[in-house]
Structure 1
Amino acid sequence: MAYASYSSQGAGRMPVAPARKAGTWKMAYADFLTALMAFFLLMWLVSGVSADDRAEIADYFHNRTPDAATAVAVTSGASAADRVFSALSENPALVAAGSSVVLAKEADGIRIDLVDTAERPLFNRADGRFTDTGRALAHETATALAGTEGTLVLEGHTDAFPSLSPGYSNWELSSDRANEARRVFEAAGIASERIRGVAGLADTRPLVAAQPHLPVNRRVSILVQVEG
């Protein structure tokens, strides 16, 4: 807040103490209005930035080193995960598979779900082995992944119907499906050391949580973990 003062001195008089000018409140009010307008302008600008952009900006300033603070860094190009996702989403064989392939980006990588549909059944009922259609789709997926980077985790899943075979639960069934995918992947040229995990998850993670008995919950998931 700004203040102004003045003094007057006449002949034979003692100097008077500084007095506050009567119009100084106007200057203070003008400062307040200027600050308020700047605040609302900033809020308007921030509201036009997407959540992803805000996170990227915050991450940029949070992770800057002292050297970076005095230089302008220009980054270009997609990340490794973006490149893998783009390659998979544009792969002709996977595109032709239609609803049998579900591709999604996750926090820990890229997930490919090979799902069972009426048009293209991947498995026989209560069977861990691929049908001819399922094996062909798994082979095409492995071929698409052969030209990409990243480690792989293979997961087998079932629907919520219990197994009808005594001593053979959905846990064994889903594990067999994951291992069936591993064998197809290795036969298609995926190096065994690139596969970091093979897991059977039974019906614990349905693709459609509200309808765990749907055929699409019978699937093999491939998690592609890409650094960078």
Structure 2
Amino acid sequence: MPDVGDVVTAQLVVAPYDGTTSASLAVTAPDGTVSSPVASTADGGQTWTAPLTYTAAGVWLLRWTVTGTGASVENQQVAVAPTPGAGQTGRVYATTTDLANYLRAAPPLDASGLLLAASKMLDTRVLFLCRYDVDDDGMPTDPDVAAAIGRAVCAQVAWWDEVGDSTGAAGVGYGSVAIGSVNLGRSVTSVSGDDSAARQIAPQVMDELRSPDLHDKLVIGAVAVPW
């Protein structure tokens, strides 16, 4: 799958073809903008190519129109992914380097998104109960607190890796499913993604927030975090 910014060569092979064959390309971007890259052939009309730059994420439509011998219209849809890490908003308490050091292994390619998701999860489920000094962006100002929260976020990502799920999809059950003549069924004890292991706070998270070097720098409610 191409990413935003990729420069590619769109290609169409025509059969049959001869000297009367001609092809043109119309490209519709995800926002509906239509452009017409110049198509050319180097083998007498069999293979047509056109330069194309994907400038936005989404589904692009490539519409080739062939006239003369081999006349036809060919449509191709191309899904374009965002630039990795682009478009992510919100506080993120750990970097991919922090995660690699925490895991003692190379982080997953989607590490940036996982760290953002873990930061949001801890913000809404744990950190909103905590009291610590922050800057105007809501980031911890004390280096010990920042490091502890960073480790807690990494612990949550590591937990997701252990359970093999980061969204809670594994917690959604099904009653019965028919595929052709095959029927599958199981007892449903949970139909909510919130019940899955992925939606649980990793045990190591609270261990990191109880780090001895925090002392009175981080408080949960009105009570200091116990050591």
TM-score (norm 2): 0.21
Pair member with larger Rg: 1
More strand by share: 2
> Normalised by the size of structure 1, how large is the TM-score?
0.21
Higher relative helix content: 1
